[in-house]
Amino acid sequence: MSDNTPTTQATAERAEPSGGYLRRRLHRYNLRSVLVTGFLLVLSAVFMFPLYFMVVSSSFGVGEFFYFPPKLLPGEHFIDNYATILAESTFPGALFNSIVFAGVTMVGVLVVGTMCGYAFARFEFPGRDLLFYGTIIFTLALPWQLVTIPLFDLLVNLGLVNTRMGGILPLFFYAVPFLIIKQNMEQSIVREIIDSARIDGASEFQIFYHIVLPLAKPGIAAAGLIAFIRRFNSLYWPTIVFQIEELRVATQFIADLSGGGTEPTEWTMVMPAATLQTIPIIIMFLMLRKYFVKGLLTGSVKG
Interacting positions 96-155 with another protein (CB under 8 A): 111-112, 115-116, 118-119, 123, 125-126, 128, 131, 135, 137, 139-143, 145-154
> Does 186 interact with another protein (rule: CB under 8 A)?
no
- Rounded distance, CA 55 to CA 78, Å? 10
- Rounded distance, CA 119 to CA 204, Å? 11
- Looking at residue 89, what DSSP letter applies? S
- Taking residue 118's Cβ as centre, other Cβ atoms within 10 Å add up to 21
139, containing H or E segment: helix 138-141
Minimum distance, C-beta of residue 164 to another protein, in the bound complex (Å): 16
> Does 2 interact with another protein (rule: CB under 8 A)?
yes
Minimum distance, C-beta of residue 265 to another protein, in the bound complex (Å): 7
At residue 126, what are phi and psi to the nearest 5 degrees? Answer: -60, 135
Q: Which is nearer to another protein, 153 or 246 (CB)?
A: 153
Q: Omega of the bond prior to 17 within 30 degrees of 0, cis?
A: no
Contact 271, 57 (CB under 8 A): yes
Please pick, from the candidates 181, 268, 274, 291, the single residue that binds another protein as defined by CB under 8 A: 274
What's the half-sphere exposure (Cβ side, CA atoms, 13 Å) at 299?
Answer: 22
Minimum distance, C-beta of residue 19 to another protein, in the bound complex (Å): 22
Binding residues for another protein, rule CB under 8 A, total 100
Tell me which stretch binds another protein (CB under 8 A): 10-18, 73-81, 85-93, 291-299. 291-299
Residues 70-99 that bind another protein (CB under 8 A): 70
Q: Which is nearer to another protein, 18 or 43 (CB)?
A: 43
Minimum distance, C-beta of residue 152 to another protein, in the bound complex (Å): 7
